[in-house]
Amino acid sequence: MKAMKHALALAIVMAAGSAAGFAQSAPYERILNADKTPQDWLTYGGDYQSHRFSGLKEVNKTNVASLRPVWIYQRSQITGEFIEATPLVVDGLMYIVEPPSTVTALDARTGMKIWSWSPKMPKDVKYIGLHANNRGVAILDGTVYIGTLDCHLAALDAKTGALRWIVEVEKNSDNHAISANPLAINGEVIIGTGGGDRDARGLLDAYDAKTGKRLWRIYTVPNKDEPGADTWGGAVGNGGDVWNGGSYDPDLNLVYYGTGNPSPAFGGGTRPGDNLYTCSLLAVDATTGKLKWHFQFTPHDIHDWDSTQIPVLFDATVGGKRRKLVGLANRNGFYYVLDRATGEFVAGAPYISQTWAKGLDEKGRPIKLPSYDPAPTGTLTNPSTSGANNWTAPSYDPENNLFYVSARELAAVFTPTGANFQSGDSAYGAIRALDATTGKMKWQYRMIAPAWVSTLSTAGGLVFSGDDEGDVFALDADTGKLLWSFPMSGVDPRDSPITYSVDGKQYVVISSINIYAAFALR
């Protein structure tokens, strides 16, 4: 007993000492220049542009085969929902989310818990159309922000976990819930809600980072007297929820968010028209909340193809001119490149073997094949309801202008009331490297089944991801050749790998179902 008490006291002292050594602060200017501190991972996508690219290269093509696990953190409560969150790392302190909405701070060197905070939520939380999990937190200055499943936004002291403020974003009783990560920019925190599959009206909010006061709100579907209402054929617009993360261009002062499907999701007979602004990318003024432009990927969606995939911001030369672009691998099976200042369609191409459209016209609108509309007897269509890509994030390597995405080759049989997966369908998954400017595939790494894993690329010439069988791996960023793999679990992992460095040592952290595991060279 004395030995146990001594060990416990020692652990507490170590934790307190470890916490005291961290700065726990990420000012706006520091996040703006995230590429200058690759030892940290400061946002969901690593930077405001959502590149998920790290300049670290201690781990590289020549030595990645020597990666070994160095610590594992087991989540404190097993709720049945898998971990989907991307950790953040600031000055050696890691912030993770344990489903559904618990924030935990770890020593990034050892995986030792420093503090943990859980919201007080009712037992009957509604999260229709979502899972009881979370994509991660945001940090700004000395505060960590999280959206809770019961539709609140909370601000925590980054050093201690103490609650600074919490506000209700929208009523959970009206089917609004939050699984998305917040986006913290210059003095404000931006968050959207889910619930559109049960007629919740999509919205995007901004809150004062210090006080929690709401600064602006934009609805993603119009009322009858608002622009775009005529695209609903007289119906009341619903859906279009913002249930995933977004990106930010500080020069244009625009935030970019994708929107979900219209409601009802299938059939569409009660909502004739394009149904703006569902299945779209919205460019919103970060200060005022005004819509600058929109681009609709799937007008009048009848396949449940949300467009909430992560938008990736990059600059490239098109037609001899340097342009500000945004790339998005859409759930409908097409990869799109848009001018991020104007929303103009630049390029597009299928990145899976989609069957529902002949292609895209000169403005990027799909040229639909009516034979693939859902029929009462069922119509086999690729992609399925889960899409060519879903919530998992891609990565972008600015050194070779490649966009890495986990592609899902999976069809479904659609009817006007729903969809079913076909028994024996020849489904598979693949990590695909696309030319970011054109969408042309450079290489692929084929997997047995479609996976639910994000990608991470590094200056070490590597792409990290995982498969549906529970293996995590590293690929050669130039060729797709498998260089390293490690069995994490045998059940449908939902990983979002990151990399960081502490005391000059590079780590790669990957989650799998109920654990966070850190790997390093030995």
- Tell me whether strands 88-90 and 93-98 are parallel, antiparallel or unpaired: antiparallel
Report the run of H or E that residue 363 belongs to, with start and end.
none
Whole-angstrom distance, CA of residue 230 vs CA of residue 116 = 48
Neighbouring C-alpha atoms within 13 Å toward the C-beta of 53: 25
How far from chain centre, in Å, is Cα 300? 24
Q: And the tokens for 129? A: 């159309």
> What's at 147, amino acid-wise?
G
Q: Categorise residue 429: left if φ over 0, alpha if ψ from -120 to 50, beta otherwise.
A: beta
Q: And the tokens for 426? A: 């020849």
Q: And the tokens for 310? A: 């992560």
Instruction: Work out whether the CA dihedral 99, 105, 107, 108 comes out positive or negative.
Output: positive
Residue 235: Cβ within 10 Å count: 18
- Starting from the edge strand earliest in sequence, which strands make up the sheet with 280-285, in order? 247-249, 254-258, 280-285, 291-296
- Would you say 256 and 249 are in contact if contact means Cβ atoms under 8 Å apart? yes
- Of 40, 241, 249, 304, which is the active-site residue? 304
For the chain, what is the radius of gyration of the CA atoms?
A: 22
Whole-angstrom distance, CA of residue 64 vs CA of residue 377 = 51
| Contacts for 95 with CB less than 8 Å, ≥ 6 apart | 87, 88, 89, 103, 104, 105, 106, 137, 139, 144, 158
Whole-angstrom distance, CA of residue 90 vs CA of residue 38 = 10
- Starting from the edge strand earliest in sequence, which strands make up the sheet with 441-447, in order? 395-397, 402-409, 428-435, 441-447
**Residue 30, SS3 per DSSP:** helix
Q: Among candidates 325, 304, 306, which has minimal Cα distance to 438? A: 325
| Contacts for 1 with CB less than 8 Å, ≥ 6 apart | none
- Would you say 426 and 380 are in contact if contact means Cβ atoms under 8 Å apart? no
| Contacts for 404 with CB less than 8 Å, ≥ 6 apart | 394, 395, 396, 397, 431, 432, 433, 434, 455, 457, 463, 465, 477
Give the CA distances from residue 27 to residues 30, 140, 382, in Å, rounded to whole numbers and listed in that order: 5, 6, 44
Whole-angstrom distance, CA of residue 508 vs CA of residue 272 = 48
| Contacts for 363 with CB less than 8 Å, ≥ 6 apart | 345
Active site residue 468: no
Catalytic positions are: 304
